[in-house]
Chains A and B, each alone.
Chain A
């Protein structure tokens, strides 16, 4: 029986033709590009991870408010839109603040965390404006960015929460705090580098 299935599988593979089924919706490629955009530059990736570590330390009841504020703020940022390069340093600074909260005060100061998450969402949204082009294509890309950022944060929280629930060892929350300190340190170094470019040398 397995041999028959194997032979059938080989025939199917050998007889395969070019796939014509992709892109059923014209312009959908932009949506996929947008999905990955919130993780496509160091500043955005570090900010998203920092926010994920911050949000992941809170219980589910509070997290819905944090995620809700991120959704509203990222939408607002997308409408306001400044472009990535202009706010790179601000994103690193926000990532450092988020990581500092996650490392030093995890699961505490919910109001401050709400502010940090909302500000982070605003920056991620503002950095997700595509280059000039047809409005339809830009809308696809921006929709993808909005979904990518919000689903990305939801996944980061989910992974964080899942690990905490699955492994109840005392060192697991410590590991998250240490990870937040590492990511925060990276954000701070990158923040300095973004200023070092304009600082007088020598």
Chain B
């Protein structure tokens, strides 16, 4: 593409952006609204993001079979947590549990702890209950529940994948430092969530 064509294209784009009207066509209900609400629920909560990415990072850090066992265990147990939340069964200290998940998982990565696979699966599964509970109790009554469930499960899985993709850097010495550093940052963020600083 020539410079002239690029400038023309840029000018047209800017003209469109400058004259755009607010879009009033999208309703926040039905299948679309349900999916978007569910999809953004884990993404817009930084405590969820930190913990989900940490699960993927930890899986990649521990290597096979943890790299697939943890992302399989998490959504299945998270759904159990959502079930508990939807049925209205009280679970104490949900927000504390979510914040603690970031602290504990982050520390495990930062200190390069490699517990047996069943221990890491149990830790991840225990924290998944709190995350699922939060998703279940915050399900809005006005949206399509099926689309909401699809949205929050896919978003959770994609956050795991981001963690796994970053965690694959452990193959290289510098990458190992970066991954452990990321674990440290996640645990610090968890402390901030825990103390109410963030």
Contact = CB atoms under 8 A, between A and B. Distances in A.
A181 B82 contact: no
B136 interface: yes
B42 to A, nearest CB: 12
B79 A189 contact: yes
Chain B interface SS verdict (over half): helix
Contacts of B78: 185
Interface string A79-105: 000000000000000000000100110
A96 B86 CA distance: 17
Contacts, number: 75
B122 interface: no
Interface of A: 42, 100, 103-104, 174, 177-178, 180-182, 184-193, 195-196, 199-202
Contact of B68 (A178, A190, A191, A202): A178
B86 A192 contact: yes
B150 A186 contact: yes
B87 A195 contact: yes
Given A186-B153, A189-B149, A196 B76 contact: no
Residues of B in contact with A, size category:
20 to 34
27 contacts: A103-B76, A177-B68, A178-B68, A178-B72, A178-B157, A178-B160, A181-B74, A181-B75, A182-B153, A184-B75, A184-B79, A185-B149, A186-B79, A186-B146, A186-B150, A188-B80, A188-B83, A189-B79, A189-B86, A189-B145, A189-B149, A190-B145, A190-B146, A192-B86, A195-B87, A196-B88, A199-B88
B168 to A, nearest CB: 10
Nearest to A192: B83
Given A181-B75, A191-B83, 10 more contacts: A177-B68, A178-B71, A181-B76, A189-B136, A189-B145, A189-B149, A189-B153, A195-B87, A196-B88, A199-B87
